[in-house]
Amino acid sequence: MRRTTSPDIAAVIKSLNIAYDDSLSMYAAKNSGAVRRRPDSEDIRPPYFRDGDRIMHSKAYTRYIDKTQVFYLVKNDHITHRVLHVQLVAKISRQIGRCLRLNEDLIEAIALGHDIGHVPYGHDGEKYLSSISKKYGIGGFHHNLQSVRALDRMENLNLTLQVLDGIVSHNGEAHDLMIHPEYDKTWEIFDRQVEERQRIYEGHSGIMPMTMEGCVVRVSDTISYVGRDIEDAITLGLISRDDIPEKCAGVLGNTNRDIVNSLVIDVIENSYGKDHIALSRETAAALRELKDFNMTRIYTNPRVKTQARKIEKMFGMLFDTFLDDLKTQNTGSKIFTHYLDNFNDGSRADYIDTTGDPIIVRDFIAGMTDEYFNDMFSEIFLPEKMKSFLS
């Protein structure tokens, strides 16, 4: 039996939630304004706090642990994985939000869920899956849209509009000098933006956040990775610290610690008491140059891409195999036993009836960890040794 809160304690909690809302900036998203698709049960937790819990307890969240951030197939336990990146985004964005008197519960929930939709092998895997999607005419693959799909459609968590909007509008690749929230979004506007973006194959989402908290996570995504990726690249011997452009080092510093500190302070100083999130021109220019440096010397470095062609072929082969398994109703396939069979009866029927086979396969592959992806390929395509022919 579920225990309920006594009337006296419920009144105290309600008053505390009201006091928290009153303590926030006039530009913050108040707990009282949280909107869900359908009614939810009563709970002592504020709405965005509850959303953060639901995300952390989701199956998709547990799979962060073995998803690539930048460097894959590297034997080094100190290299950043997706799960650490997500935690760093949450910490950095909450620090900024606290100084700006924004809703930290909303910030944390957005940060925790923002990369749920990332596929095996990071952005390279995303590119391969989008290319396959184009082949089957099912719209481009974008990890931010997939994050929303995983949480809102596949696991059906009934998260708030404000959290899902912050997730879909995050963009660590964008270079924003100033981010203005698009207030007054509705579910209709949100769903239309997602649908329109899904039809586009190239580039990242042009969707902007509806809250200041979403804007903070958007800029914190960049802050969290730009210096951290440099440290990882130095650790792996890909670059040296002296390679960092002098102008960038002069403005931001040449260690992750200093880069994060410089950017966080700059955001706070240029956003405090304002209805937008901003960087100073000097800092924004240095950040752009540093991101360009990372792109050239790290992300597109040929030494990082030596296995890319193999991985691309693996994506294609697995996709075609699982698609054939659906069409032939091969119920022994892992797409049934490890995926579709895990839906409850009602949600499975609805999901299958409203989702085309190629999209079901895409959802399955997108949710895989790197290790599970490799295991599936080995199991399906590589021969197994036998100990004997005895039964």
Rounded Cα distance, 43 and 50, in Å:
8
Classify residue 6 as exposed, middle or buried by CB count within 10 Å of its CB (0-12, 13-18, 19+). Answer: exposed
Per-residue b or e along 95-116, where b marks 16 or more CB atoms closer than 10 Å to that residue's CB = bbbeebbbbbbbbbbbbbbbbb
Structural contact between residues 165 and 151, judged by C-beta atoms closer than 8 angstroms: no
pLDDT tens, position by position, 144-165: 999 999 999 999 999 999 999 9
pLDDT at 77: 80
pTM: 0.94
Q: Quote the DSSP letter at residue 280.
A: -
Rounded Cα distance, 48 and 110, in Å:
9
| Distances 283 to 91, 250, 272 between C-alpha atoms, Å | 21, 10, 16
The SS3 of residue 208 is coil
Using pLDDT thresholds of 50, 70 and 90, give the confidence band for residue 172: low
The fold of 21-304 is Hypothetical protein af1432 (1.10.3210)
Q: Kind and range of the H or E element at 98? A: helix 82-99
Rounded Cα distance, 210 and 191, in Å:
13
Show Cβ contacts of residue 315 under 8 Å, excluding neighbours closer than 6 positions: 125, 128, 129, 132, 365
Whether the pLDDT of residue 115 is over 80: the answer is yes
Tokens at 338, concatenated: 């490890």
Cα three-residue angle 73-79-83, rounded to 5 degrees: 95
Rounded Cα distance, 201 and 210, in Å:
24
Location of structure tokens 């329109």:
196
pLDDT tens, position by position, 260-272: 999 999 999 999 9
In the predicted model, what is the mean pLDDT of the chain? 92
Average pLDDT over residues 68-82: 84
pLDDT tens, position by position, 98-111: 999 999 999 999 99
Domain with CATH 1.10.3210.10 in the chain: 21-304
What is the torsional sign of CA 34, 36, 39, 44? Answer: negative
Whether the pLDDT of residue 284 is over 80: the answer is yes
Rounded Cα distance, 102 and 30, in Å:
9
pLDDT at 194: 94
pLDDT at 13: 81
Whether the pLDDT of residue 95 is over 90: the answer is yes
**Of residues 177 and 365, more confidently modeled:** 365
First to last CA, the chain: 50
Location of structure tokens 């029927």:
349
Location of structure tokens 């440099």:
230
Q: Kind and range of the H or E element at 67? A: none
pLDDT tens, position by position, 198-238: 888 776 667 999 999 999 999 999 999 999 999 999 999 99
Using pLDDT thresholds of 50, 70 and 90, give the confidence band for residue 280: very high
Q: What is the CA radius of gyration of the chain?
A: 22
Using pLDDT thresholds of 50, 70 and 90, give the confidence band for residue 81: confident
Tokens at 91, concatenated: 């910490």
Rounded Cα distance, 387 and 52, in Å:
49
Helical H segments across 161-280, by residue range: 161-168, 187-198, 212-235, 246-252, 256-271
The SS3 of residue 209 is coil
Cα three-residue angle 28-29-35, rounded to 5 degrees: 175
